[in-house]
Every structure is written in C-alpha cells, then in structure tokens.
Chains A and B, each alone.
Chain A
Amino acid sequence: MRTIQNSLFLWRRCILSLLLVGLVSIASAQQKKVTGKVTEFSGAPLPGVTIVVKGSTNGALSDTDGNYSIANVPADAVLQFSFVGMRLQEFSVAGKSSIDVTMEEESTGIQEVVAVGYGTQKKKEITSSIAVVKSDEFNKGNVNSPVQLIQGKVSGLSISKAGGNPNSSFDIRLRGLSTIGANTGPLIVIDGVVGGSLDNVDPNDIESINVLKDGSAAAIYGTRGSSGVILVTTKQGKRNTSVIDYNGYVTVESIAKHTDVMTAAEWRALQTETKLGTDFGSTTDWFKETTRQAISKVQNISLSGGSEKTTYRASVNYRDVEGVSITTGFKQINGRVNITQKAMNDKLTVDMNLSATKKEAEYGFGEAFKQATIFNPTAPVKSAEPGYAKWNGYFNQTLFDYYNPVQILSENSSKGEDLLYNLSLKGTYKIINGLTIDASYSRQGNSNQRSEYYSKKSFWTGANKNGSATKKENTGSNTLFESTINYNGTVAKDARFSVLGGYSYQDFTYSGFDLSGGNFLTDAFQDNNMSASLDFKNGLGTVNSYKNSEKLISFFSRVNLNVKDTWFLTASARYEGSSRFGEANKWGIFPAIGGGVEIGKFLNVSAIDNLKIRGNYGITGNRPSDSYLSLLRLGPKGNFFYNGKFGPAYAPVSNANSDLKWEKKGEIDLGFDFSLFKSKITGAFDFYTRTTTDLLFSYQVPVPPNLFDQAMLNLGEIKSSGLELAVTFNVIQKENFSYSTTLTPSYNLENTLVSLSGTYNGAELKYGVRDLGNMGSPGQNGTPLVRAEEGKPIGQILALQFKEINAAGNFTFEDLSGPKGVPDGTIDTYDRKVVGNALPKFLIGWGNDFTFKNWDANLFFNGVFGHDLVNSFRSLYEVPKLMGSYNLPKTAKDIRNAQGVLLNNSSGVFSSLYVENASFVSLDNASIGYNIKLTKGAIVNKIRVYAAGNNLFYITKYKGVDPNPRYGDSEDNNNPLVPGIERRGTYFRTRSVTVGVNIVF
C-alpha cells in the first residue's frame, strides 16, 4: 500500500502545488501558519497527506519526511487530514501553531484494503467476489474450529456438520458442487502459506477470514482454487504497544436431538399388541446411559506489542472439550508466535511465524449412537446373572447387529494424537519506491496417531478375538518456497497499475503404517504392546506401511489497472505443473480477467455513495487426490501356492491412465458492490455460473482390455449457477445504542450433472443413469437411494412412492412403470421415482448486532431450505414386526392401516415415506456481553464478560437427528454424488451455553 502511495505522491503534489500557489495569494494576512508532522501509526513519516482548512480550499501536502506547513490558518479553524486508505481526521487549531498527527488506517468501506491471493488490494479496485469477515463479526460462543467463526456469514459458503461430534470436521462447500472426484473443500491459505491446515490455527488467534469466491479471484492459486480459497490472517502485534490479552470460557453442552424411540412403557404397550420381543423387566433410557452434560474449558492468553522496528504476538491456547457422548472429547494445546522485523533502513521486512498444535482426542464409536437408539428399553445395562460375567456383567443378546451401547463405549477405546506444526519465514525487500521483491519458505507437517482397542470382554467386536488392537500412524509434510516481485507505477495521469510476478514450489511427502492384531492374554496393554498379540505369532496380524510424494510447481503473474478510481481491470495467470499427471499433461494454464466500473461517479444520486459493477471470468483447476495414477505400478497382491508353499503374487494395483490431466473449471461472476446513505446500507450482489470439465472421476471401464473395471479419468461436465446477496443495514447508530443487521441469502439456480460420458482409450463411455448409495443391513442391502443422471441435478433421492398400508397389513406402493415402460402390476426397481432433492436450494444467514451503553448483544439465525434427507433410522426400524429384535422409533406405533391395524407383515422397504423435508431455521448463536467500565490508569485496560448460546433451537419438520444437509455419503468416502442420507451413526445434535471473560492488560 505504501508503495502505491509513494508513487502517487509526486504527481499529486504537482497538481496541488499549482492550486496552492493561487490560493495562498488570496489568503488573509492576519491568519497564522500551522506546521507539524504526519506519521503512520507505527511512527514512520507519512508523505503525501492532504491537509485542508475545513470549509476552504486552503491546503497543503506533507513532504517526504511527513512535515507540512500551511499558512493563513484562522485561529478557530479546523484542519482536515486525509490520505488514501486512512481515516479522515479533523483537528481544531484552537490557537496552536503546531499540530502533529498520527494517521490511522481505514478499516471499513471502499478504502479498505483486502487480502487477495499473493498480496492486498483496495476494496474499491477489486473486480471479483471476495467476502471479508473480521474478528468483530465472528460467531461467538462455543467455537472450536476456525470455520465456525464464519458459519453463515458468507453468502454462498455453506459450512455444516451433522451432529455435535467435537472431533468431526465441517463440510465446507462454496457455491455448491464444482467437482465430484477431486477435492470438494476450499484451499486454505494461512498468512500467505498455501495449503495450510485449519487444525493448526486456534480461532482465538484469527484477525480476519477472506473468502475468494469466484474463479477470477481464485485463479491466481490455479490448480487448487476450484472449490474456492479461504485466506486466514492471524493477529499481529502493533508498534509501540504492549498488550496482554486473556480469554477464557466454559461451555456446557447437552443433547438437543436424537431419534425418538419408544420408552420402556411404550415398548411394553406395543408388545402386548404384537407379542414380539422379550421384556427383560428393566427400564433403561439408553440415551441417558451413553451421554452426559459435557463441560468444556477454553483458555487463551496472548502477548503482543512492538517497538519501532519489531512487532510480535505470541499466544497459547488450551482447549479441554468434552463431547456429550461419554468417552468422546479432546484436549488441545496450541501455540503461535508471529514476529515482524524491519532492517536495512526499513527496506527489508522479515516475517516469521511459528505455530504448533497437539491434540489428544477420544473419538468414541458412532456405533453407540445407533445401538442406543435400537437397544431394547426393557433390558438392563448390567446383569448379575452369571451368564453375563464373561461380558463384564453387561447385558447382551445375540441378534444381528445388536450390541449394548454402554459397553461399546466403556469397554473399548478409540483414541488419537495429532501433532501439527508450521514454520514460515518471509523476507520482503523494497528495492526502490514501487518495486519490492520477496521470498518465503515454509514447512508444514502433521503426524496423526490412531489407536483402537476392543476388550476381551466386549461383546461387540473384541470378545471372540480375545482382545483386538489397532494402531496407525500417518505423517505428512510439505515444503513451500515462493518468491514474488511487485511493481506499482503509473502509465499516465490518473492511471495506476501494479504488476506481480511469482514462482512457487511445493513438495509433499506422506507416509504411514498400521498394525492390527488380537488374541491377547490381558486387556492391560491395549495398543501399547503389539508384540503381546498372539495374532502376530500366528500370522493373523496385519501390518501395512506406505510412502508417497507429490510436487507442485508454478509461475504466476497478475496485473491490476486503476483509471481515475473509476475503471478497474485485473488480469492474472498461473502456469502450474503437478507430478500427479501423465507425462504429456503435467502443466496447465489458469488465466483470469475481470473488470469493474464505479458507476456511482456517473450517477449524480446523493443516496449512492458507491456503486461498482463488476464482471470477470477465471479458470481454476483441480488435481486428483492420489499420486501415481498415471503410472503402471505393481505391488504384492495376495499369495499363491508354489512348490508346496505360499509365495507372494505381484500384480498391477490399478489401471494406469497416462493421459491424466487437470480438471478445469471456468466461472463467470457478475455483480455489484454498493454503499448507500453514507454507508448506512452496504453490500454486494453476485450472479455466478460455473462449468467444470474434464472431471476427475473413477469411471467404470471395460475389462478387457483394461486391467480393472475402474479407472481415474477426465470426463464429463458439471454446471452450477446461483445468486448471492450480502447486505448490512446499520439501522441505528447512536452513541448509546446501535443496531445493525446483516443478511446473507444465496440461491442455487442449478447444480447439474451435465455429462459423465466421453472417450477413453478409444472406448465410448456412456454414464447415463446410475443409482447409487445403499441403505444397508438389516435387510435393505442393494437398495439404492440416490440417482446420478446426466442432464439432471445432483442429489436426486430415489424411492418407491408409498401408497398405503393395505387391509392385509402390507405396505403398498405406486406401480409407476415396468420393463416395458408401462405399469406392469408388480412393484420393482422400475417403480422408483425421484422423491426428493438432497442439496439445499436456498441458504440464508441473518445476523443482528446490538450495543447499548456497555452492553453488546448478537443474534444469529441460520436458514437452509429446499433439501431433503433420507431418514435411515425410520426406513430400517419403523417396522412394528422388528420389535422382536430392536427398539423402534415412536412413529412405528402409528404404522397402521386405515382400520387401525398395525403393519404386521411387510419388511422395511425404503420408500418416499422416509424421505423428509429437512429445511430448517436455527438460532445458530446468540450472545450478550458487558464491558466493565474501568477508571483511567487502572492496571487492567478492559474487562468483558459474556454469555453465549449455540444451536439454541431448530425449527424443522425433519424427524431425524440433524437436518443439516449431507454433502456426501459417510458410508461411501463422502462420495459427493450420494448426498442427502442421514446414517445411523450420526452423533446426536447438541446445544450449548457458554460463559466467558476477556481481560486485556
């Protein structure tokens, strides 16, 4: 920013000087001269600042040392100090002859400077769709992941998680789905480090989060920009300050929703009718037995400050988080140090960031949620009967897929330890005014350990294995080297430009191993002494290890043009290569161009402060998630009998696709940014349409000639488009009371699987219609749930159309078609139809911020509309005759025919009955805070106490656990073509209340 200002300085001074000569000559002689020095917040002199006597044309500019001198100033005058990107300041002269001023950076409005890829840009010059969320706008309360901070705040960005599992991550989807076989989550850039891990940033340390939404903004990140880019900026120290900041809060979390099943009394009542199942005489609430009120404690302390040449910020974060399911939660400690130092006459700036996180987690078992829901409510948790002694007294029954949930959680364990680190170093050198060069190096790494132990006495999975242990370790690291050169200059009067050129090199290495074996003499070791597992002695233990690597190399460039602060143009390109592609297709080019016009300058409407229309086009890419797919590789694949003993068999591990190349997404974004009534109403509107071609996807290919029937290919096309609005209305802004409200609606116009067909090795591959997903056991294997069909939207939920329960007590369904395309009197696969849509149509966030004297409050509502969910629990268990084996949803009692006869014959059959509208509105977070008034000179500068609630309520018709959309199938590697299924292992939905304090010293 400074460099632009310096280059502007000369010509501006020329113009103004001429003006001043004229002005000075008509100035009154009785007025006196005022001098002073203008500095930046850091104390550095600020040249080029315009100083004007308010209400006159009398003015001056500060010189290269920041000094100014202005003559003929009336004694009662007010001086106005203005500078691009800085807040306008006014000072009363009040007889003084010397006024020194420290300029402060403008933090809002169109003068705002926004982080973009590889640098910053003034908001007014931006020609693409970039959302900025600052720390004061972040979601409050029980926030354990950085993405929660902006959940609902960015129009078009969906951040969701089903259930309250503290250890599961959020699904992040920007503008729907733009890829199906590659990475569906956005690229994370933390303080300029590309491909950073959000797990290594504590939410407390984040200053702002920017989302590069369109293809043009993301194209500078080329191959990793297709699913959007999220830029995270962490907090930095400020010059000439010294601050200690403490944050601490306690959260109490409880279950908000699980599938409602019959109580013991209800179960007994139904049993008298069905005569099925065994009443074991107890009354057990399995939800109560497997859950708790979870208490979490979070503490953060940071030290920050700086001198003239150095700024620093160091922080430590500690999180002790419990999950509502017993034996789930994590403890995490994270540290971060950011240091910036200037040297060589301030021409050189060195930034150093270090961060590390250690997380110890207990995961529990999703199976326990399912079993707590279906376990017999008349069964005791434990029984003194001798038969149960071998299960440690836990009651169990031998039925298919049926295990005591308390025992699952308390006798077995699933734990993990994650270690993450990041080290980065960056040097920026100002060669001459306007020309800088920088180089940065960073290294990131992670190691994840997972261990599971199933006890000898657990009926579930360890028992007959005589104890069973698994231990895994995966490590990954990457090295990033980048260098850029920047030049800011002018082409002509009123026409400024900046040019960026850069090189980036990143290599990745992943490796890991896992061991699993059982047959232990004692449960004492768990996974800590695998040599005690007799399975290894008997050849039954399994051992695996792997290592792979990847490289990304790129050259990139960007040009920005600003003509008269009215016409803006941005063009960029990235030329990038990845080792993962076929020999001839390693490199790809990803260009972008965008333009904007500040038409507010042409419309002479006083209500309009700014109105910028903009449009752009950009191409981004995606690479496959695995290395080596272009190579023919061999590996050990089983054994065979050779000369009387087993020997290893080596065979290809997959089809090789030597033509593998980038997946490409082209996106057009048209929009406008506006500010009305002196920033009372501000916002942005966008229309986008994006088309992804050469989709990376594992396709079915013919065998022979191919070795396997699946190959990773580039075929097909998907398309999505939508509308986004973000508007903030500062309704009231009084000294003692303010209220502002923000709405972020987005509407998905289309999300279409245009084609998944194409040619591979001369073979015409036709995708057509595929029915995917599977309801599963008991009894609904081979029951597809979602249809992927060329030319149709993604996420069509497919089912038989339920008609009624007939007199005989059977489900009946509509006979819609048959093999010949007409109803044929039988109900079969031909009678399925699209009965739901898995992906939401309309999303909206609604934020409300209030301040009243020392109080502040916020209410944030979240609405997601137009999506359906498959309720697996109901489909599998809402069948009265199954009460012989399982507890059933309360709704099972109502599965009767018109005469009130209970459904008594049919098995569970997946139908439209179980596809539910899952639209919802939730009070996502609400908070109230009080800033304690402190007397000047107190040892404490600020104390704020607050209370917050998260997910306080949901308004929805959905009967399952959590109405949030499912973007992929949790039982199929999160396959994005199979969205919309709520599986039985879903962690119960929770709500939480937090109280906290923030103290600044």
Chain B
Amino acid sequence: MKKTLFSIKNILFGVLVAALSQSCTNLDEELFSEVTPANFFKTEEEFISALGSAYTQFGGWASGDPQNLQEFTTDEMAAPTRGQDWDDGGQWRRLHLHAWTKEDGVMSGAWNFGFSGVNTANRLIYQFQSLVTSGQVKQEVADAYVAELQAVRGFFYWQLIDLYGNVPLVNDFITAEATPATKTRLEVYNWLIKDLEAAVPKLSKAVDGTTYGRMNYWAGKALLAKLYLNAKVYSGTAQYDLAIAACDEIINSGKYTLESNFFKNFNTDNSGSKEFIFAIPYDKVFFQGFQLHMQSLSYLSQATYNLTAQPWNGFCSLEEFYNSFDDTDLRKGEPGTLTSPSIKRGTFIAGYQYSSSGAILSDDGVETSDPDGKPLNFGSIGSGKPQINELGPQAWRQAGVRIGKFEFASGSTEHLSNDYAVFRYADVLLMKAEAQWRKSGNATDAASLALVNQIRARAGVANLTTLDGKLSFDLAGAVVPGGELFNELGRELAFEKSKRQAMIRWGVFTNVTKWMLPAKNVGDVWKTDAYLTLFPIHKDKLAANPNLKQNDGY
C-alpha cells in the first residue's frame, strides 16, 4: 500500500510538472517569417524600406484599373468581344459604351488603387513623425520624407478626385474616422492644393539617380500643373496662370528636354530619359505590373516576340484614332504587309504579323467573315474593311490595331521592364500650350503654337498654324476651338492616361457616339449623360462605409 501511494504521488507530480513545464497558459504568438513594428525600424535601411511601400502602390498604374477607366472610356482603346473572348459579362463593352455600373469590379479596383496609396502615405507620415517624437530620427530628415509622402499622397488624391470627384478626405492615419464621410470634390481639391503647395518646396530638386522613380520637386510641380489645368473641372474655377507658372518653372529649370527620338521614352531600356519628370521603374523582376503586351497582343504574337506566356488578344485601338496620325508621322509606325513584316516601329502594331523567324502567322481560328482569312492581320489593314467590324459579339479575333507604343522586348515574361512615365516633359509643353490658349482664347497664339510645333517637329510632321480644327474622331463634324491641339495631345500622349481628362476639358467626353463601334450585343446601350464624367463608387465600398455618398446619376 505504501508503495502504491508513493507511485501515485509520483504520477501526480509528474503530470503536474509536465503540465507546468509546457508553460501551461501562455498563449503569446511567436513570429518567424514576419516582423512587427516592435522589432523593426531599428536601422536606416529599415526606415527606407518603409518609405518604399509608398512607391510600390504605383504598381497598378500602367496596366490596372486606372488604365481601364482613363483609356477604355476614350477613343484610344477598346476590347471588342471576339467570339466568346472578352465578353466577360459585358464589362469591357460597358466601359467603352459609357454604360458602366456601380457593380463593375473596375470601379472598386481604381478606388483601391487611390485609397491604398493615400492610406500608405498617411501611415508612413505618421510613422516618421512618431520616430521623430521617439528621438530615433532627426526632424529635418523626417521633414524631407514627410514632404515626399505628401506629394505621393497628392498624386493618389488627384486620381481620386479625377475619377470619382467626391471622396472622403483622410489625411491623418491615427485620427482617421472608422467610416469617413464623402467630401465634395471642391473641398478635397482645395485641401490638396494647399497641402501640395506646402510640401513641394521641401522636395529635392536633384534630377539624378537619387530621385529617379520618386517624387522630386519637379514631379511635384508637374502634379500641381495637372491640377491647375483641370481646376475648372475640379473646382469650377480656372487656374491657367498657375498652370503656366508651374510649367514654366519646369521648362526654365533646364533640367529636362525632349529626347530627339520619341521612342527613347518607351523602349525597354528607357530608364533615365531626359523627358521623364516622374516615371514608374517597372521591371520584370523587381517591379512587376506592366502588362500591356499581354493585354493587347494576339495569342499568335507569342511567336513574334518569343514571349514566355501566351498573350490575351484583348486591347486594341480604334480606327479613327489610328487614322488621326498622318502616315508620315514618325509616331504612327508602318503596318506589316503580306510580303514583309513591319519595319518601322510605331504607336500601333498594325497589318500582317510574322514570327521572329520571319514566317507569316496563320490563325486557324479565324472567322469565315474575316476579310483577310488566316494570315494574322491586325486591323484588317489593306482590306478596305473596317479595322474593328463591331464591338461585339462577333468581333473578328484579328480586329483592331494593337498598341505598340512601348517596346515589347523579345523573350519578355508576363511583365515588361520598360519604365512608365507619369509626367513627361512633352506633356508639360502641351499643358503650357493649352493653358495659354485657354487663357487667351487665341488659336493662333505664336507662343502656344511654338510649344506644340516642338513636338510636331520631332514627330516629323508639318507645323500647325492654328490650334483649332476638327476633332480626330469626328472629321465630318465642325471645326472645334482647340481641336488640333486636342488631336496633337492625343497622338503624343496616347496610352499615357491623358485622354479622358482632355475629353472632359474639351467637353466631348459625354458626346461619344461619334466614335462608337457598332454594338450588336443584346442589352448593349450607349450612354451620353453628363453625370458620366464621374464614375460611381462601387457598391461594396458603399456597403463597407455607410457614410459614403454615391455620385449623382448612379
């Protein structure tokens, strides 16, 4: 009996020890492959890596939903429904037809793009400020970073008020409300201008490797110029003098100049172009997200560019837009023919297509109605038929000229390495020309014409003598004030996300039926209402935040 009791004690004791030695009630989490703020931000490299997260937010600019809202809605770009492909519930057609709805995912994507950018900047501003408070970082070091982050935030707010108009204004990470309420476009614009005007002077004026791919002083000025140029739209009050002043400061700095070769700006190795004021340094490894080749090229084009993946045969350009380039315009490019591939690179990839080894590409899936049959011919060039037969549902697989402004390097992966200019010197010249013309109302103003003609000269086309003209997509229509300027802006800045803003400034965005493709899909409708200059807030966003106010008309 004694022995038994002894062993009972032993067992009980053993159990107890085992229980306690397993740290019986400690439930703290141990991390292995991530860090927390408690064990991070200890070294300078760590601070800088945090700043980096403000810039990774730009990744969605080139090929994401900002593109879909800024370009699909214009005469630059469309994704016709090719057989079954690109029907996708009609969402691509709706963008083109201006019949988008608050349920279309793109409305959510662009909102996320904007507010993630804003939010990250807010968070980092707060972090840098608290590092100053805790004595880890000196005030003057933090100030420069904070100003830079304000400029980054300014870019995202610019897009938000441009696309959605009335949005919440959140400029502090810690005091941000749980469900911030919608503010008017004017309120946000006024705050944004004030914030930027305070921050931009604190930014670095260096134009070299230290500021490449980042918001420097000149990028801040270019952003302000964009805001001023569109101020009439955003705030109801024109700010042409301010726009001219901001452009002048950039022009007069002597830091930037037009590249002699237009395509230097769009080549794979375009880093450091003398025209780039602010560029996103896309890279197939380090900074992914630029996928124009995948979006635009045909499945068969994989053989032309030796791509590592099959492209999606989607985005193409409209006939009117293609034709708004003179054949002599160096920016247009030449179509491939039945006997030889295109020899001149251009904004468009048109005509017959060849493999990298020189064989003409043949499309087994071609529709019987396609006028050129199996040989792959983008845009039916030379057939005398429309480049895009219809928006859907029976668009030819080969319909539409493709977008070739950016070089598609042979052997590309799904991500391009070309940098993508957000602000380019040529844009500044055109902004100044437009602001001067809008201020004076004089279509033959020599100073404005000189700026536009700088760009035309590089493109190898004759000087303009007046800024007025017919709109490129309505050549049967009337001469429009500033029409030629509008066309030139379209050609120079094609696929650089300027067109929708220009159309709104010219008042032609909601009068789009002139360039509408025939849409035969059941249920497709064109819309031309004035409210369409602002996009709707996606319904999931409204569900997540009851204080948001939907834009009128939706």
Interface residues of A (CB under 8 A from B): 275-278, 344, 347, 397-400, 427, 429, 431, 437, 439, 441, 464-465, 481, 483, 503, 505, 511, 518, 538-540, 545-549, 551, 553, 577-581, 586, 627-628, 630-644, 646-653, 699-709, 760-768, 770-771, 777-784, 810-813, 826-829, 876, 879, 881-882, 884-885, 905-909
Residue on B with the closest CB to A827? B523
> How far does the Cβ of B92 sit from chain A's closest Cβ, in whole Å?
9
Contact in complex: B540, A700 (CB < 8 Å): yes
Q: How far is the CA of A187 from the CA of B210 in the complex (A)?
A: 56
Note all chain A residues with C-beta closer than 8 A to B212: 641, 644
Note all chain B residues with C-beta closer than 8 A to A628: 29, 31, 34
Residue on A with the closest CB to B101? A829
> How far does the Cβ of A957 sit from chain B's closest Cβ, in whole Å?
26
> How far does the Cβ of A931 sit from chain B's closest Cβ, in whole Å?
47
> How far does the Cβ of B278 sit from chain A's closest Cβ, in whole Å?
11
Residue on B with the closest CB to A345? B4
Note all chain A residues with C-beta closer than 8 A to B7: 344, 429
Q: How far is the CA of A884 from the CA of B52 in the complex (A)?
A: 49
> How far does the Cβ of B549 sit from chain A's closest Cβ, in whole Å?
13
Spot the interface stretch: B230-238, B251-259, B361-369. Answer: B361-369
Contact in complex: A779, B88 (CB < 8 Å): yes
Q: A437-B12, A704-B170 are in contact. Are A464 and B52 (CB under 8 A)?
A: no
Contact in complex: B308, A398 (CB < 8 Å): no
Contact in complex: B88, A646 (CB < 8 Å): no
Contact in complex: B18, A439 (CB < 8 Å): yes
Does B209 count as interface, using CB distance less than 8 angstroms?
Answer: yes
Contact in complex: A705, B286 (CB < 8 Å): no
The listed residue with most A CB atoms (<10 A of its CB), out of B55, B87, B115, is B87
Contact in complex: A701, B56 (CB < 8 Å): no
Does B84 count as interface, using CB distance less than 8 angstroms?
Answer: yes
Does B214 count as interface, using CB distance less than 8 angstroms?
Answer: yes
Contact in complex: B84, A481 (CB < 8 Å): no
Does B541 count as interface, using CB distance less than 8 angstroms?
Answer: yes
Contact in complex: A481, B56 (CB < 8 Å): no
Q: How far is the CA of A700 from the CA of B210 in the complex (A)?
A: 38
Contact in complex: A781, B88 (CB < 8 Å): yes
Q: How far is the CA of A344 from the CA of B1 in the complex (A)?
A: 12
Contact in complex: A779, B85 (CB < 8 Å): yes
Contact in complex: A580, B36 (CB < 8 Å): no
The listed residue with most A CB atoms (<10 A of its CB), out of B52, B104, B546, is B52
Add 4 more A-B contacts to A400-B313, A647-B49, A765-B544 (CB < 8 A). A632-B37, A703-B116, A882-B84, A885-B365
Note all chain B residues with C-beta closer than 8 A to A813: 522
Q: Can you list 6 pairs linking A and B with CB atoms under 8 Å apart?
A: A437-B11, A549-B29, A580-B29, A638-B56, A766-B544, A908-B87
Does B239 count as interface, using CB distance less than 8 angstroms?
Answer: no
Q: A439-B18, A651-B50 are in contact. Are A906 and B522 (CB under 8 A)?
A: yes
Residue on A with the closest CB to B306? A464
Residue on B with the closest CB to A700? B544
The listed residue with most A CB atoms (<10 A of its CB), out of B45, B51, B88, is B88
Q: How far is the CA of A653 from the CA of B53 in the complex (A)?
A: 11
Contact in complex: B540, A638 (CB < 8 Å): no
Give the size range of B's interface with the partner: 35 or more
Kindly identify which residue among B40, B83, B313, B525 contacts A882, using a CB–CB cutoff of 8 Å.
B83
Q: How far is the CA of A639 from the CA of B415 in the complex (A)?
A: 15
Contact in complex: B15, A764 (CB < 8 Å): no
Contact in complex: A465, B365 (CB < 8 Å): no
The listed residue with most A CB atoms (<10 A of its CB), out of B286, B363, B368, is B286
Residue on A with the closest CB to B32? A547
Contact in complex: A701, B544 (CB < 8 Å): yes
Interface positions, chain B 1-48, Cβ under 8 Å from A, are 4, 7-8, 11-12, 14-15, 18-19, 22, 24-37, 40, 45-46, 48
Q: How far is the CA of A82 from the CA of B70 in the complex (A)?
A: 87
- B contact patch SS: loop
Contact in complex: B543, A637 (CB < 8 Å): no
Contact in complex: A705, B53 (CB < 8 Å): no
Note all chain A residues with C-beta closer than 8 A to B90: 782, 828
Note all chain A residues with C-beta closer than 8 A to B365: 277, 397, 399-400, 884-885
Note all chain A residues with C-beta closer than 8 A to B88: 777, 779-783
Contact in complex: B363, A398 (CB < 8 Å): yes
Q: A439-B15, A640-B56, A810-B522 are in contact. Are A907 and B40 (CB under 8 A)?
A: no
Note all chain A residues with C-beta closer than 8 A to B307: 464
Residue on A with the closest CB to B170? A704
Contact in complex: A782, B84 (CB < 8 Å): no
Q: How far is the CA of A882 from the CA of B522 in the complex (A)?
A: 18
Interface residues of B (CB under 8 A from A): 4, 7-8, 11-12, 14-15, 18-19, 22, 24-37, 40, 45-46, 48-56, 59, 81, 83-91, 101, 103-105, 112, 115-116, 118-120, 122-123, 168, 170, 173, 176-180, 208-210, 212-214, 281, 283-288, 299-300, 302-303, 306-310, 312-313, 363-368, 392-394, 413, 520-523, 525, 540-541, 543-546, 548
Note all chain A residues with C-beta closer than 8 A to B546: 764, 766
> How far does the Cβ of A819 sit from chain B's closest Cβ, in whole Å?
8
> How far does the Cβ of A87 sit from chain B's closest Cβ, in whole Å?
33
Q: How far is the CA of A720 from the CA of B30 in the complex (A)?
A: 37
Q: How far is the CA of A652 from the CA of B173 in the complex (A)?
A: 14
Note all chain B residues with C-beta closer than 8 A to A705: 119, 170, 173, 176-178, 180
Contact in complex: A768, B543 (CB < 8 Å): yes
Residue on A with the closest CB to B40? A634
Note all chain B residues with C-beta closer than 8 A to A767: 543
Q: How far is the CA of A502 from the CA of B300 in the complex (A)?
A: 67
Q: How far is the CA of A628 from the CA of B51 in the complex (A)?
A: 24
Note all chain A residues with C-beta closer than 8 A to B366: 884
Contact in complex: A627, B180 (CB < 8 Å): no
Q: How far is the CA of A561 from the CA of B148 in the complex (A)?
A: 72
Contact in complex: A647, B287 (CB < 8 Å): no
Contact in complex: A634, B55 (CB < 8 Å): no
Q: How far is the CA of A586 from the CA of B308 in the complex (A)?
A: 48
> How far does the Cβ of A539 sit from chain B's closest Cβ, in whole Å?
4
Q: How far is the CA of A768 from the CA of B33 in the complex (A)?
A: 37
Contact in complex: B19, A505 (CB < 8 Å): yes
Contact in complex: B59, A638 (CB < 8 Å): yes
Residue on A with the closest CB to B28? A579
The 9 A-B pairs of least Cβ separation, nearest first, read A649-B52, A644-B209, A641-B213, A779-B84, A651-B53, A705-B176, A762-B178, A781-B88, A779-B87
Contact in complex: B34, A653 (CB < 8 Å): yes
Note all chain A residues with C-beta closer than 8 A to B308: 464-465, 518
Note all chain B residues with C-beta closer than 8 A to A777: 85, 88
Note all chain B residues with C-beta closer than 8 A to A762: 177-179
Contact in complex: B84, A649 (CB < 8 Å): no
Contact in complex: B213, A640 (CB < 8 Å): yes
Kindly identify which residue among B33, B56, B300, B545 contacts A547, using a CB–CB cutoff of 8 Å.
B33
Q: How far is the CA of A908 from the CA of B83 in the complex (A)?
A: 9
Kindly identify which residue among B15, B49, B520 contacts A483, using a CB–CB cutoff of 8 Å.
B15
Note all chain A residues with C-beta closer than 8 A to B91: 781-782
Contact in complex: B50, A704 (CB < 8 Å): no
> How far does the Cβ of A991 sit from chain B's closest Cβ, in whole Å?
33
Q: How far is the CA of A643 from the CA of B216 in the complex (A)?
A: 13
Q: How far is the CA of A885 from the CA of B366 in the complex (A)?
A: 9
Q: A481-B22, A701-B544 are in contact. Are A634 and B14 (CB under 8 A)?
A: no
Residue on B with the closest CB to A650? B49
Note all chain B residues with C-beta closer than 8 A to A644: 208-210, 212
Note all chain A residues with C-beta closer than 8 A to B101: 828-829
> How far does the Cβ of B316 sit from chain A's closest Cβ, in whole Å?
15
Kindly identify which residue among B26, B33, B283 contacts A548, using a CB–CB cutoff of 8 Å.
B33
Q: A778-B84, A779-B84 are in contact. Are A650 and B40 (CB under 8 A)?
A: yes
Contact in complex: A908, B52 (CB < 8 Å): no
Contact in complex: A703, B53 (CB < 8 Å): no
Q: How far is the CA of A628 from the CA of B35 in the complex (A)?
A: 11
Residue on B with the closest CB to A645? B209
Q: How far is the CA of A398 from the CA of B309 in the complex (A)?
A: 12
Contact in complex: A549, B48 (CB < 8 Å): no
> How far does the Cβ of B301 sit from chain A's closest Cβ, in whole Å?
10
Note all chain B residues with C-beta closer than 8 A to A764: 179, 546
